[in-house]
Every structure is written in structure tokens, then in C-alpha cells.
A and B are shown apart, each in its own frame.
Chain A
Amino acid sequence: MQVPAHFEYEKAASVSHALLLLARYGQDARILAGGHSLIPMMKLRLAQPEALVDINGLTDELRYLRVSGGELRIGALVTHAQLLESELVGQHFAILHDAEQVIADPIVRNWGTIGGSLCQADPSEDLSAAFAALKGSMVVQGRDGSRVVPAREFHTGPYETVVAPGELLTEIRLPIRTGAAGARHGSAYVKVARRVGDWPVGAAGAAIWLSGDTIADAGIGLAAVGARNFAAAPAEEFLRGAPASTQSLRRAGQLAAEHCQPVPDQRGPADYKRHLASELTVRALVTAMRRARTPAAGRP
């Protein structure tokens, strides 16, 4: 029987209360959101916090989806299921619905939160790749105020983020860029997993902005394949200004794979993951481009 070691439990009544509790317990306190990463880690003693600050009650402050200032704003406590169900999300970022359909299983998605996923910072985490592709940013709050960190600077290593002890991730912001002079936007996420509900062997997300037959801009995110900052910057640079052709997308796939450093594990060898980085980048880009060219209505 796996049971976490002893810890103090505190229910936060507000964001400022949560920050106060974090300060009181210091280094060894952890935020408890859905608990679907933290509790399994505590059972295995991979995490042994002395105190948990439960933020599940902070739905008024941290559970919302809204458009503001040209951005989609996602409260940290939004669940995977809520992201998947949201029409607002699907309308702007098909990539997020693609990703959520293949993150864990429907029951886990009911309780796992977006903030928890990002702060867990697993190198295989799907949303980190999706948010990297969309060039989003994260709002981190401490007792002295909040700061906005680009998605691509949020992770500092495997299982590590810029969120310091005593701080809280409160919001994810995704820019809604229709682009200059009618550039059209499309996005997609593709993942290969060993079985339904499992973590990716490899996964790629793509966002594309078309201006006529030219790729005005592109974002590519990669999960589980050892991509720096979950992104494929050289491939994005190559695509910027390139013709919107299959050839361009294929080349971007190659570039994405060349810049990955996959680690072999029980999900697959490094070569296979590198192959996936290339192939899945191409597939995500192809779908993103098709969506950019197809009006939102009647989109698959």
C-alpha cells in the first residue's frame, strides 16, 4: 500500500492566503492543485513536502477562461477537462483541443489542472509544448507582486521552473494574433503514445500564420524529445517568410529533429524519438496549414 509520508495540510482561502502559508512553511511547502502528479510522487517518496497548501478552493480567483487584452487568459486552476470543453479555446487554438484529447484519460483530466501540469515540468508534458508553440506567457505571483514570464523561459530544467518557493503560478496568457493584414492562423497537435492515456513517446504542436502563399510566422513545440525550451526555434526561423509548401514543412521537420536531444527510456530509443520529432512536426504543420486555409466553420 502506497501512502504519502506525514505532512501538514492547509487549505488556502485566497491567493494572498496561499502566499502567506507558503511563506510561513518556507522551502518545504508545496502547492496542492489536482494532486494527480504530486500525490503519486509523494506515495513514491519522490516528493516529501512538509506542508501542502491546497488551492482547490480558489476557483473564483484561479479558475477562469477569458479573452482580455488580445490574449486568451487561462487561470492556473482550470482543469484539462474544462480546457477541452471550452468553445472559446477551440475557436482560437485548435492545438489545445487536439492536445487535451490525448492528455491522460477523461477521469484524470477531470482533476488535473493546467497550472499543475506546467509546474510539474515533466519533460514529456504536452501542454508545455503547446504553449511553447503558441508563444504564450505565464504569470507568476509572489508576495511582492507578479511577473510575466515567456513560456519558453518558464522551464529551467526537467521538473524545474522559474516559480520560486513562496510563489504561485496564477495565469497562462496566449496571444490571439490574427496577424497583420488578414494573415490566417491555424494550429494543431499530434502525439504518439504507447497506449491510450499514456505520456507521449514524442509529440509536436504547430501554430502557423499565413499571408497569401507565404508563411508569415510559425511556432513549433515539442514534448518528450529533448527539445530546448519545448520549442524548435531553428525550424521556426526557417519557416518565417518561406513559401507555404509541403517542401518547406518537410525541411522544418528535419531542422526540428536535428536540434533535439532525445533521451532513450522505456518509451523508446533516441533514434526513434528523433524520427518522431521530424515526422510529427511535419504532420502538425500540415494540419495547422490546412486549418489556416479553411474557414473556421466546417473545420475538421
Chain B
Amino acid sequence: MQVNVTVNGTVFTREVEPRLLLIHFLRDELGLTGSHWGCDTSNCGACVVWLDDVPVKSCTVLTAMADGRRVRTVEDLDRGGQLDPVQQGFAECHGLQCGFCTPGMMMTARWLLDHNPDPSAEQVREAISGQVCRCTGYENIVRSVLWAAKHEGGGT
């Protein structure tokens, strides 16, 4: 089937099998390997992207379901080489070690701060509660997101 998916502002028209999962479309068809593919069972969140402005686990969505919709991936976070405050936060606060969970964590964090510019640590934890990090123990991820909140004017 033919799909038209707007990814990071660009419309891509592709012929795909209906069973192609969105994560594979992004990584294998479009070469956007920033989004990671981990558990494959909608548990880890490494594959989180935005679909029509809402975070989703892209290993559990068909590309066909994204037809006519907008997808935003981690590749779209920076603006002309200027890192997004969330990315800066992860760099400043050591929010990653191996980096496997990081793209998903950052997409969720960006969404959280867009909707709640001054979250509590508890709210950050709740937001990322469907995502797994095997390295950091989450402490530094929470710090990174709070750093971003503070530096974009929301946080206290």
C-alpha cells in the first residue's frame, strides 16, 4: 500500500507492506536510526516517537496507521545545530550512559515540558514510567529533565 507520512516536517511517500511497523519504517526505510528498537513488546520505550504530537511506542504501531499523520523523532529535537534544552540537560547532568534509552526518554521529556513546563521530580518519574533504562538508575534522567525545565524558564 502507499503511505504518506510527514516525518520531522518532510512528507515521505512510500510503498510499504501493511504489516511494516513504524519503528522499522523510520529506521530501515528512512534511515532515521535515532529511534531505537529494543524490547519489541511495548515495554521499554526505546522506540518512543511522537505521532500527531503525542508520544507512542513505535514498535506497536503500523506504518499504515501513521498514513496521513505527522511523526516527530529525536532527529528533530535540535534547531539548526542548537541542541534542545532537553538534550543539553542530558549532557549536563549525565542523563545517559550507553544511550540506548535516551532518544525515547528525550521525546517523552520534550512532550512533558511542552505540557507542564515546571514538573516535579515525581511528575517526571510518572511521565517516563513506561520506559526502561538499564544504566542510570533513572536519577540522572530525572535531573536532566528538571535541568531542562529550569533552563527554559519553566522550572524553579
A40 engages B42 (CB within 8 Å) = yes
Q: How large is the interface on A (under 10, 10 to 19, 20 to 34, 35 or more residues)?
A: 20 to 34
- CB neighbours (8 Å) of A39 from chain B are 21, 60-62
- CB neighbours (8 Å) of A32 from chain B are 62, 65
Contact with A along B51-91 (1 / 0, CB 8 A): 10011110011101101000000000000000000000000
A7 engages B65 (CB within 8 Å) = no
In the complex the two chains form, what is the Cα distance from A105 to B130 in whole Å?
5
Q: Shortest Cβ distance from B38 into chain A, in angstroms?
A: 12
In the complex the two chains form, what is the Cα distance from A197 to B43 in whole Å?
9
Contact of B129 among A36, A43, A52, A106 (CB under 8 A): A106
Q: Shortest Cβ distance from B1 into chain A, in angstroms?
A: 6
Contact with B along A1-29 (1 / 0, CB 8 A): 11111111101000000000000000000
With contacts A5-B19, A6-B17, A8-B18 known, is A107 near B61, CB below 8 A? no
Q: Shortest Cβ distance from B104 into chain A, in angstroms?
A: 9
Does A176 have its Cβ within 8 Å of any Cβ on chain B?
A: no
A36 engages B42 (CB within 8 Å) = yes
Does B40 have its Cβ within 8 Å of any Cβ on chain A?
A: yes
- CB neighbours (8 Å) of B20 from chain A are 3
- CB neighbours (8 Å) of B55 from chain A are 106-107, 110
B19 engages A107 (CB within 8 Å) = no
A108 engages B130 (CB within 8 Å) = yes
Q: Which residue of B lies closest to A36 (CB)?
A: B60
- CB neighbours (8 Å) of A52 from chain B are 18
Total CB contacts across the A-B interface at under 8 A: 77
Does B35 have its Cβ within 8 Å of any Cβ on chain A?
A: no
- CB neighbours (8 Å) of B108 from chain A are 106-107
In the complex the two chains form, what is the Cα distance from A106 to B131 in whole Å?
10
- CB neighbours (8 Å) of A4 from chain B are 19
In the complex the two chains form, what is the Cα distance from A106 to B130 in whole Å?
7
Does B10 have its Cβ within 8 Å of any Cβ on chain A?
A: no
Contact of B18 among A9, A81, A104, A110 (CB under 8 A): A9
A11 engages B60 (CB within 8 Å) = no
Q: Shortest Cβ distance from B46 into chain A, in angstroms?
A: 11
B67 engages A35 (CB within 8 Å) = no
| B101-136 contacts to A (CB < 8 Å) | 108, 126-127, 129-131
- CB neighbours (8 Å) of A35 from chain B are 60-62, 65
With contacts A1-B40, A197-B129 known, is A7 near B19, CB below 8 A? yes
Q: Shortest Cβ distance from A275 into chain B, in angstroms?
A: 26
In the complex the two chains form, what is the Cα distance from A107 to B108 in whole Å?
8
Contact with A along B20-59 (1 / 0, CB 8 A): 1100100000000000000011100100100100111100
Known: A40-B41, A105-B45. 14 other contacts (CB 8 A): A1-B40, A3-B24, A5-B19, A7-B18, A9-B62, A32-B62, A40-B42, A40-B60, A54-B65, A104-B130, A106-B129, A107-B56, A107-B57, A107-B131
The chain B residues found within 8 Å of chain A, CB to CB, are 1, 17-21, 24, 40-42, 45, 48, 51, 54-57, 60-62, 64-65, 67, 108, 126-127, 129-131
The chain A residues found within 8 Å of chain B, CB to CB, are 1-9, 11, 32, 35-36, 39-40, 42-43, 52, 54, 56, 81, 104-108, 110-111, 196-197
The 7 closest A-B pairs by CB, nearest first: A105-B130, A9-B18, A4-B19, A107-B130, A110-B54, A196-B129, A9-B64
